[in-house]
Structure 1
Amino acid sequence: MNIRDFTFDHYEKLLDAALDNGYTFYSVDEHIRRSDHDNPYIAIRHDVDRKVSTARSMAKTEAERDIPTTYYFRTSTFSPKIVAEVADLGHEVGYHYEDFVKSRGNIKESHKRFARNLARFREHAEVTTICPHGSPLSPHHNLDMWTNENSIEDYDLTGEAYLSMETSHNDSAKPSYLSDTGRNWNTSLPGIGQLSTTDDLITALEADCCNRLYLLVHPGRWSRSTTEQIQRVAWDLAAEVGKTAAKTVHTIL
């Protein structure tokens, strides 16, 4: 876990490094819709699990650089006012669904819940892509609600942030997927090696070693001040302990 990393200063340097090195940015929707992509490029998605105000600040930081990204809101973080503001800044807004977990693995009930929540979101935003919320304390996985009988196309959606985005560290035609989960990018890329910190990722961009990237950036993990930095690190430490405990319980059961 990188204690001093994941500040807004680091994020701004990452965005600026990408722009300085000729990267094009895509939202998830645009990436899925396009049959060809500029090279190099970065697609960025944000899972707004908490800290909505930080998400709004991050959206403004990107908009100042004319960078479009995607923000996935949960029902607990969805606010018509915030969503409208994020969309007005030029970003995509999507649904960060957790209906299968909330329905305790009941497929039929999860789709009823999903349809209801998606309709509510669409009253305030144009939602064309979705992304599952991870629930480590549950034995269920939200992606499992999509079976042969239940398609995302049934909901007039362009795609799903995992199912519709093919990634690979070894296939240059596909983007490499990196996540800030655990306060560590925790990825090894051909030609550059291990990436742990945001500075490592910046070095990779400057070295022209990764021409296609798909980044998961949790706004709630990034801090705007020293006080927030201390709070974020403490939260992430506690969250990692909880995830480890949950995995142990699920393994035993």
Structure 2
Amino acid sequence: MKTVFHRFYADYLMPSRLGEYEAVLRQAKEMDYAQLPVRDFFRALAQPATLPERVLVHRHDIDSDLRTAKKLFAVESRHGIQATYYFRLCTLDFGFMREIAAAGSEASYHYEEVSDFAKRHRIRDADALRKRFPEIRELFIRNFDSIRQRLGMPLATVASHGDFANRRLNVINHELLRDPDLRAHCGIECEAYDEPLLRNIDMYISDRKYPVYYRPMSPFDALGQHRRILFLTHPVQWETNWVDNTRLNARRLVEELAWRA
């Protein structure tokens, strides 16, 4: 019962936390952290002498709630801070993505072709799913090329989305990007879960739903303790959006029922 209440509170009752997010940006700025998108940090790793002493890498996964994503962007814009925004196919907003890019931030793809394929074809076996990777690879290329062409700019980094199907099958979307030819074809420099990126991060923090909010620690505590921090956030954790949360919860229920049928 407590878990149900926590979920209901997070989705429908939680007050806006955008002021708290802005406080993170302010504290990082006051403590002389360079605040960078994933793309810029990864590229700087090739020239260590150019890396600032302290870095806070901002990554936003736009799983849902474009309204709050735009508010996060507005907060960052007020402070002259750049970040990375990864969009799913269901959250693509090319006008917003171009606005992000024009501000020096990064807008790219939050891909989920592996889990989508498993759900669409009701595949419940990991080995059977991996055997279909050649088909899934072509699907990824079509989606990626379509986004890149419509956006009118290259997509340097991408990030795997996590889905219940990935967890049930123990097959992550990132497995698809282990193919170097696929990366070369698409011009992908880095996947957000790549080891060469993450080994250069001292503290990886992700936001969480009420009542935890952060894992493994608060960014307020991490700032000053760690030199290189990656802060992963999702709009849904910072402000409630009744319409979007209801739609997302209903979609998840329908997908699970259909997959099990």
Structure 2 residue 35 is matched with structure 1 residue 21: no
The residue aligned with 1:191 is none
Residue 30, structure 1, aligned to residue 40, structure 2: yes
By how many angstroms is 1:94 displaced? 0.9
Distance in 1, matches of 2:55 and 2:229, equals 6
The counterpart of 1:167, out of the listed 179, 195, 198, is 198
Given residue 21 of structure 1, which amino acid in structure 2 is its aligned partner? M
Pair 1:109 & 2:135 matched? yes
Moved more, 173-182 or 53-62: 173-182
Partner of 2:75: 61
**Deviation string, structure 1 residues 220-253 (Cα, Å, up to 9, x no partner):** 2211xxxx38x59xx59x97xx89xx8xxx9xxx
Give the TM-score taking structure 2 as reference length: 0.74
Pick the aligned partner of 2:162 from 131, 134, 148: 134
Match of 2:209 among 182, 190, 193: 182
Contact 2:159 2:193 in 1 (8 A): yes
1:63 is displaced (CA, Å) by 1.4
**1:106-157: CA deviation from partner (whole Å, max 9, x where unpaired):** 2111111111111111121431110011112342320121345654233211
Cα distance change on mapping 1:178 and 1:19 into 2, 3 Å: same
Secondary structure of 1:210's aligned partner: coil
Does residue 218 of the first structure (1) align with residue 220 of the second (2)?
Answer: no
How far is 1:73 from its partner?
0.5
Is the 8 Å Cα contact of residues 70 and 93 (structure 1) preserved in structure 2?
yes
1:155 matched to which residue of 2?
186
Which amino acid in the other structure matches residue 130 of structure 1? V
The unaligned stretches of length 5 or more in structure 1 are 188-194
Matches within 5 A, 1:4-15: 7-15=17-25
Match of 1:93 in 2: 107
Secondary structure at the aligned position of 1:119 is classed as: helix
Q: Cα–Cα, structure 1 residues 24 and 147, in superposed 2: closer, same or farther, change >3 Å?
A: closer
Say which of 122, 129, 132 aligns to 2:148. Answer: 122
Residue matched to 2:86: 72
- The letter of the residue matching 2:147 is F
Q: Distance in 1 between matches of 2:165 and 2:15?
A: 26
SS in 2 for 1:146: helix
CA–CA separation in structure 1 for the residues paired with 2:33 and 2:68: 24
Aligned to 1:201: 219
Are the counterparts in 2 of residues 59 and 91 from structure 1 also a CA contact under 8 Å?
no
RMSD of equivalent CA atoms: 2.9
1:134 is matched by which residue type in structure 2? G
Pairs aligned (count): 220
When normalised by structure 1's length, the TM-score is 0.76
Please list the CA deviations of residues 142-174 of structure 1 after superposition, one character each: whole Å capped at 9, or x if unmatched: 012134565423321111111155436xxxx53
Point out the structure with the larger helix share: 2
Structure 2 residue ranges without an equivalent (≥5)? 1-5, 119-128
1:6 positional shift: 6.7
Provide the residue aligned with 1:144 in structure 2.
175
Secondary structure, counterpart of 1:38 in structure 2: coil
Question: Do the aligned partners of 1:59 and 1:89 also contact (CA within 8 Å) in 2?
Answer: no
Q: 1:38 to 1:21 in 2, by over 3 A?
A: same
